[in-house]
Structure 1
Amino acid sequence: MAGNSTICSFNVIITKNAANDNVPYFIDENPTPANKKWTKVENLSDEFNTDELDETKWKNTDPNKWIGRAPGLFKKNTVSQSEGSLKLTADILPSPEVVNGNTFTHAGSNITSINSIRVGHYFEARMKSSKTFMSSTFWLINDRNDASGCDKRTTELDIQECVGQITSTESWTADKDEEMGSNTHSRNTSCTTTPEGSVGDHVNIGGKAYDDYHVYAAWWKSATEIDFYLDGKKVYTVTPKAEFNLQMYLRLVVETYDWNPVPSDGGMTGSFEDRSTSYDWVRTWKLEDN
């Protein structure tokens, strides 16, 4: 080819919009209704940027209420904050403890919000699971004792529940270490007219839940409709068995499951980081007029 020619090359890098603390994390499709905006609910949100748990927002274990499911006992000393994240670190107890006739061999965590919240809000957490057989979770539940009449019942909204090591041989547990697992539960009802049961869904996250942080979220849109989001994208909608219209509390919990038993080596041979469920942040949002 006659004459001079110039060849130019360049790289194009496409990145997702990063989550920020001014708005909920949405990608591709923003579900915010027209003429509305999201406002953060500060007393149910936390960036975990201090050295200690903010006890004006969170309660670290309540021995007078839920103490854990054997063999996992909730212990305050499993909770720490460092380098901008909350860490719930599973461990083996120095010696077994017997409580109410049950033997506990492992230590877990139970962080509960001080404040409750009702239908209509959006909840999201950027978190990474541990590598242990114990759970890594983000969910909401009501206090049955707060209500009376037919409202004296339990409603539970599980946004994310997974484990880092699968010890179960049941086929339905095969992907519990690499999925977003969500559920709604209606139980402990006081009236026969209130339906009981569970409705949930799940989606693969594209790798192990402990490999990287992901944003798990749910929009408690109405008493009969809950939209779930993974990394800013809507993945499924669930209609609970009963109306979800009672105030609920946020929960960040590491516990044992009866379907995922303790492995023969005790399951706690990994490092502090390997045994820790890490929460970069938790954010709650409400809709207001724009």
Structure 2
Amino acid sequence: MVAPKLNSPLLLLLWCICLVSACNKNTGVITPPEPEPDPMTGDRDFENIDPNQPSFVSIDDTTPETQKWVKVEELTDDFDSWNDNKWFKPLWNYGVPVDMKAENAGVTDGNLWIKATLNEGQERWFNTSRVQSRAQINYPMYTESRIKTAHISAYNTFWLNNGNISNRNEIDVIENNSKPSCNCQPDFPWQMNSQYFHVVDDDTRRNKGNFDNRNLADDNPLKGVRWNEEYHIVGVWWKDARNIQFYLDGEPAGSVVSERDFTRDLNIIWDLWTVDEPWLGGLPPQSDLNDETINTMKIDWIRTWTLEDR
């Protein structure tokens, strides 16, 4: 089609409209306009996270320009086998009905696992376990772990701690329960329970930074996926003596500010436990502990870095 000599802008506009219409009529295809990229998310790829950096670096890199992440090998593991140099099983108990056993944790098929099993007829009928790092770490640091919860009414935990009930520094990255039994925690299947404790001579300072995974970005494929349905990456950037930022599947997910300075180097811990309290979600039916399809917490890997000047 050859453009006629047009002496006015209006005639030129009408000719352009006719040209587009004719092209569409000839091809039978109407090409929609390209969607504009979301200025808040850009073009993000949650499926190709760089394993050599904290996951959020691949999504929204907020690392200070003058600093870099350096991997801490002592606190990093793909769990191809059990490594006695990195991990051990401290078997101190929580309250009834928990009973910690060494045989209830191990490494199989590329996963660290912690299993709840039934000791029928006993007061402490909830057999389970705990895994702790030998190495300790302090801020500024970032650690994250890829975890799929046991689908029973229990806390599947990933946390940092040093001390005892009366004197301790503690950061709880997750205390997740995908199947609360109490009919009182309807958000727990999606709620990332995160908090800190700072205790000096039984004087406890504490605050929560809980996050609901249904509030992840729309382009995040794990938005709204329950803790037992898929592995989720949970992490924490321990920035300084008081500021703690939690992460979920590559995105910031709640934060807390401590009322007092953290002063202790911390160990990293996973465990699986329950108690007959509504704040945890209630006890599981004992029959759930005999179900091999739901009674095991699985940890695919852990990766840890320190933040250092370039």
TM-score, reference length from structure 2: 0.77
Q: Which amino acid aligns with 2:53?
A: V
**C-alpha distance in 2 between matches for 1:80 and 1:264:** 24
**C-alpha distance in 2 between matches for 1:67 and 1:46:** 26
Residues 48-197 of structure 1 correspond to what in structure 2 (within 5 A)? 48-50=79-81, 53-62=82-91, 66-93=92-119, 95-96=121-122, 103-144=123-164, 153-170=167-184, 173-187=185-199, 189-190=200-201, 196-197=204-205
**C-alpha distance in 1 between matches for 2:287 and 2:205:** 33
Q: In the TM superposition, what is the alpha-carbon distance from 1:245 to its structure 2 partner?
A: 2.3
2:49 maps to 19
Structure 2 contact 117–290 (Cα < 8 Å) conserved: no
Q: Which amino acid aligns with 1:142?
A: N
Within the alignment, does 1:283 sit opposite 2:303 as a pair? yes
SS state at 1:81 partner: strand
Q: In the TM superposition, what is the alpha-carbon distance from 1:86 to its structure 2 partner?
A: 1.1
Q: In the TM superposition, what is the alpha-carbon distance from 1:14 to its structure 2 partner?
A: 7.2
**C-alpha distance in 2 between matches for 1:164 and 1:142:** 27
Structure 1 contact 119–245 (Cα < 8 Å) conserved: no
Match for residue 237 of structure 1 among 255, 279, 282: 255
Q: In the TM superposition, what is the alpha-carbon distance from 1:243 to its structure 2 partner?
A: 1.7
Q: Provide closer, same or farther for how the CA distance between residues 94 and 77 of structure 1 changes in structure 2, counting only shifts above 3 A.
A: farther
Q: Which amino acid aligns with 1:153?
A: N
Q: Provide closer, same or farther for how the CA distance between residues 42 and 261 of structure 1 changes in structure 2, counting only shifts above 3 A.
A: same
Structure 2 contact 143–305 (Cα < 8 Å) conserved: yes
Uncovered stretches (5+) of structure 2, i.e. residues with no partner: 1-21, 36-42, 214-223
Q: In the TM superposition, what is the alpha-carbon distance from 1:46 to its structure 2 partner?
A: 0.9
Q: Provide closer, same or farther for how the CA distance between residues 86 and 134 of structure 1 changes in structure 2, counting only shifts above 3 A.
A: same
Q: Say which structure is richer in helix.
A: 2
Q: Provide closer, same or farther for how the CA distance between residues 19 and 82 of structure 1 changes in structure 2, counting only shifts above 3 A.
A: farther
Structure 2 contact 154–180 (Cα < 8 Å) conserved: no
Identity of aligned residues (%): 25
The total of aligned residue pairs comes to 266
**C-alpha distance in 2 between matches for 1:116 and 1:229:** 21
SS state at 1:209 partner: coil
1:31 maps to 62
Q: Which amino acid aligns with 2:85?
A: T
Q: Which amino acid aligns with 1:48?
A: F
**C-alpha distance in 1 between matches for 2:106 and 2:176:** 21
TM-score, reference length from structure 1: 0.82
**C-alpha distance in 2 between matches for 1:208 and 1:244:** 32
**C-alpha distance in 2 between matches for 1:204 and 1:49:** 31
Q: In the TM superposition, what is the alpha-carbon distance from 1:17 to its structure 2 partner?
A: 4.8
Within the alignment, does 1:274 sit opposite 2:304 as a pair? no
**C-alpha distance in 1 between matches for 2:206 and 2:201:** 17
Q: In the TM superposition, what is the alpha-carbon distance from 1:4 to its structure 2 partner?
A: 6.1
**C-alpha distance in 1 between matches for 2:260 and 2:44:** 43
